A = this chain, B = another copy of it.
Amino acid sequence: MSSDEAETRPRILEAAWRLLETRAGQGVRMGDIAREAGVSRQAVYLHFPNRAALLGATTRYIDEVKRVDDRLRASREAGDGLTRLDAFVDAWCGYIPEIYGVARALMAMQDDDDAAAEAWADRMRAMREGCAAAVKALKNDGTLKPDLPAAAATDLLAMLLSVRNWEQLVRDGGWSQRRYVEAIKRMARDSLVATKI
């Protein structure tokens, strides 16, 4: 065997991705993924020790295919802090719907499963770094609200950009992605950027 048609591992990842996306991260069991990949359930366990690991690997796989790091990094090349903030919000908010399926499945496991919690926390770390970078750019420009410490600003921006907030407005609240992005951008500016007198 060895090289069947497509290698089994990526085929499992593709299957997981597809199911997670179409079912919005809900009710996707190990057996479903296996069937979708055209492989036995045990074969999945041959490649991934457990569900959390498979979901974690799926996120990384999506990141790779969608070149997420590149897109987030690009947002750091804008000129002044304000444009950088906007660019980062744009990049991240645009990213959320693309990973929402996996994100939701991963978030649902967090309470019971340490591995899932770690996988998700890791994912969020990248986002926080982007927030911190944007805040730093503002601070360097002197456009960060003067009574707002950079660390606090970073936390608040990360809060604003959380997947849960996207979920609440877009998925549950019926907001369009476009409207959501614009609203978050405005909120970020209103909350973090010093008002010019």
Contact = CB atoms under 8 A, between A and B. Distances in A.
Contacts of A190: 187, 190-191
Interface in A87-135: 104, 108, 111-112
A108 B164 CA distance: 13
Chief secondary structure at chain A's binding surface? helix
Contacts of A173: 155
Contacts of A191: 186-187, 190-191
A185 B85 CA distance: 22
Given A183-B152, A187-B191, A191-B190, A168 B175 contact: no
Contact of A158 (B158, B159, B164, B168): B168
A164 B164 CA distance: 7
A68 to B, nearest CB: 21
A156 B187 contact: yes
A26 B111 contact: yes
Contacts of A143: none
B155 A159 contact: no
A173 B124 CA distance: 13
Contacts of A187: 156, 187, 190-191
Contact of A159 (B152, B156, B168): B168
Interface string A57-98: 000000000000000000000000000000000000000000
